[in-house]
Chains A and B, each alone.
Chain A
């Protein structure tokens, strides 16, 4: 009933609009002139490279007559993908960032949520200071953040190592077991404030009246935060999770910088580093297949997560 009504008004609105400025608004040429400045580079530098990578990933380089024969490129079907899935380095890089993502993303988003909720209560003073401090790392490029932290991890320079040694510990931030978490810390430092600000902006948009009733009933700030605010900003939390999943799968700069000071990071530490290493060895088809697999995993995880959470939350 209401559906029909809204549809009817929409039809009236569009047809009404049409007859007003004769023949349906601006001409097709004008519309194209607005769209093309973006769509031309979008097609050239986004869609064409994607298509090109997919096409390349189905090619193989073969040689005629042994190792020194001339090479030629041929269609290889899923050959490159079979190679990707048989590559143990690929699986260990996936395992590494899988572990990274399962731990780092929830920790970071939980901290971000706590800060956002605290900034939205009357409990805090100096709110502006805390907000800026948390958001400030977003201004720092990933490479430079990793360089800064690598000094704080370095056994020769780090004041943190000095302090921990003074209380009798022997920290090794760059050791084989620790280095993944040292990289995770750099990502957490960089992105907590950004995610916090997304959640905080959503909190600020909630009308105060929604809490009034709960406050009159004597609900604590804590109860209001978890029972009312968090469910309302669930879409923002989902959005930050999706952004974080995408970011984790793309991980490159932080481990690449830590690799400069730690032998415990291989050149194939993350899937992206693996793709780059393979491409540097001139095996572009294999690198393309790896990139495609990373992109597909990214899509499946982000859409999967959105579907799963929106179903459960009934959004």
Chain B
């Protein structure tokens, strides 16, 4: 009797759990599936055919239209997004690593104070910074340039926080000591010894910052008027706002959305393990 109950319980719960997870998986995949289907349809079929089944396969024609529209502005936006996100996250990761490493390994007065200022920075809503930054930048004339979006993007207090935790966990004091005894300066020690030990953690920090910049919308919207400087998010937002007047844009908004998310989703799936280490240490706090 007491032996039967757990098995029956677990068979019922097993089925219920699988059913629930399948429903949730459908929920998470549905918009993506719809987008894939819609990106293969000619504009005329969007409203006239059922949204979840394929009709004419026009994906390549749609891609051609997308990339040739307004002298290939979409390709430019894609390139801009890559520049902002890859370069910004690379610089951001390096400066976060330097700072987090110093906060973890050097003892100096005011260290804990600096660290709590950075932690406070994690809680600052970044959208609240965009408007005052715009005013400051317009006084210095860098509004409406690459720098207006790039410079604020390199600062990631969360990155410093992660770098400090990772350094404390992954860089043993003895290794630094022996490098110092060999006569290496602090920068030599950092770049030749510590960075190697920190590489997996740096990938995590890079990914968080990359996604933050890639997804950013408010900052570029406030800073940029010149279309040729837009990231993809802002460009597609602008096109989406014009579909009422130019209905043919709709297909390009759909195809453009698909083109812009597929590479990042693939990157995510390939680099999954780095997210888990980052999110695990983020929650230890």
Q: Verify A145–B31 contact, CB threshold 8 A.
A: yes
Q: Verify A162–B50 contact, CB threshold 8 A.
A: yes
A residues less than 8 Å from B131 (CB atoms): 53, 275-276, 279, 284, 287-288, 291
Query: Can you list 29 A-B contacts (CB < 8 A)?
Result: A20-B177, A34-B186, A37-B95, A45-B133, A46-B121, A50-B129, A56-B132, A123-B13, A123-B17, A123-B18, A124-B18, A134-B28, A139-B268, A141-B217, A141-B232, A143-B217, A145-B31, A147-B240, A147-B253, A193-B28, A218-B2, A235-B284, A236-B283, A246-B125, A249-B125, A252-B127, A260-B237, A260-B244, A294-B125
Q: How many B residues, CB 8 Å from partner?
A: 100
Query: Complex formed: what's the CA distance from A24 to B241 in Å?
Result: 60
- Give the nearest-CB partner of A251 in chain B: B127
User: B251-276: contact bitstring with A at CB < 8 Å (1 yes, 0 no)?
Assistant: 00110010011001101110010011
Query: Complex formed: what's the CA distance from A287 to B130 in Å?
Result: 11
Is there a chain B Cβ closer than 8 Å to A220's Cβ? Answer: yes
Query: Complex formed: what's the CA distance from A199 to B254 in Å?
Result: 33
Supplied contacts A24-B107, A134-B28, A136-B268, 12 more A-B pairs, CB within 8 Å: A49-B133, A139-B211, A143-B217, A148-B35, A152-B51, A197-B279, A201-B276, A205-B280, A235-B285, A260-B240, A275-B131, A302-B123
Pick from B14, B34, B98, B232: contact of A38, CB under 8 Å:
B98
Q: Verify B98–A221 contact, CB threshold 8 A.
A: no
Given contacts A38-B95, A56-B132, contact A50 B261 (CB under 8 A): no
Q: Verify A26–B25 contact, CB threshold 8 A.
A: no
User: A22-53: contact bitstring with B at CB < 8 Å (1 yes, 0 no)?
Assistant: 00111010110111011101101110111011
Main secondary structure of the interface of B (DSSP, over half): helix
Query: Complex formed: what's the CA distance from A140 to B25 in Å?
Result: 16
Which of A126, A136, A222 is packed against the most chain B CB atoms within 10 Å? Answer: A136
Given contacts A115-B24, A123-B14, A197-B276, contact A157 B127 (CB under 8 A): no
Is there a chain B Cβ closer than 8 Å to A132's Cβ? Answer: yes
Given contacts A42-B121, A49-B129, contact A284 B28 (CB under 8 A): no
CB proximity of B89 to chain A, nearest CB, Å: 14
Q: Verify A148–B34 contact, CB threshold 8 A.
A: yes
Q: Verify B31–A148 contact, CB threshold 8 A.
A: yes
Which of A41, A149, A239 is packed against the most chain B CB atoms within 10 Å? Answer: A41
Q: Verify A21–B264 contact, CB threshold 8 A.
A: no
Given contacts A147-B257, A197-B279, contact A34 B99 (CB under 8 A): yes
Pick from B10, B99, B102, B129: contact of A221, CB under 8 Å:
B10
Is there a chain B Cβ closer than 8 Å to A137's Cβ? Answer: yes
Name the interface residues of A119-143: CB closer than 8 Å to any CB of B. 121, 123-126, 129-130, 132-143
Q: Verify B27–A189 contact, CB threshold 8 A.
A: yes
Which of B155, B186, B268, B279 is packed against the most chain A CB atoms within 10 Å? Answer: B279
CB proximity of B137 to chain A, nearest CB, Å: 9
Query: Complex formed: what's the CA distance from A142 to B218 in Å?
Result: 11
Query: Complex formed: what's the CA distance from A218 to B17 in Å?
Result: 20
Is there a chain B Cβ closer than 8 Å to A17's Cβ? Answer: yes
> Closest 7 A-B residue pairs measured CB to CB?
A159-B51, A201-B280, A34-B102, A38-B99, A236-B283, A49-B132, A141-B215
Is there a chain A Cβ closer than 8 Å to B282's Cβ? Answer: yes
Query: Complex formed: what's the CA distance from A86 to B282 in Å?
Result: 40
CB proximity of B122 to chain A, nearest CB, Å: 9
Pick from B2, B125, B186, B283: contact of A30, CB under 8 Å:
B186
Q: Verify B17–A220 contact, CB threshold 8 A.
A: no
A-B interface contact total, Cβ < 8 Å: 279
Name the interface residues of B1-34: CB closer than 8 Å to any CB of A. 2, 6, 9-10, 13-14, 17-18, 20-21, 24-25, 27-32, 34
Is there a chain A Cβ closer than 8 Å to B236's Cβ? Answer: yes
Is there a chain B Cβ closer than 8 Å to A94's Cβ? Answer: no
- Give the nearest-CB partner of A40 in chain B: B95
Q: How many A residues, CB 8 Å from partner?
A: 107
Main secondary structure of the interface of A (DSSP, over half): helix
Q: Verify B107–A144 contact, CB threshold 8 A.
A: no
Name the interface residues of A277-308: CB closer than 8 Å to any CB of B. 279, 284, 287-288, 291-292, 294-295, 298-299, 302
User: B173-193: contact bitstring with A at CB < 8 Å (1 yes, 0 no)?
Assistant: 000010010000111001000
- Give the nearest-CB partner of B121 in chain A: A46
CB proximity of B86 to chain A, nearest CB, Å: 15
A residues less than 8 Å from B50 (CB atoms): 159, 162
Q: Verify B268–A138 contact, CB threshold 8 A.
A: yes
Pick from A41, A159, A260: contact of B52, CB under 8 Å:
A159
- Give the nearest-CB partner of A134 in chain B: B28
Q: Verify B28–A141 contact, CB threshold 8 A.
A: no
Q: Verify B29–A133 contact, CB threshold 8 A.
A: yes
Given contacts A52-B136, A197-B275, contact A37 B98 (CB under 8 A): yes
Query: Complex formed: what's the CA distance from A154 to B225 in Å?
Result: 29
Query: Complex formed: what's the CA distance from A203 to B152 in Å?
Result: 35
- Give the nearest-CB partner of B267 in chain A: A139
Q: Verify A33–B187 contact, CB threshold 8 A.
A: yes
Q: Verify A42–B260 contact, CB threshold 8 A.
A: no
Is there a chain B Cβ closer than 8 Å to A253's Cβ? Answer: yes
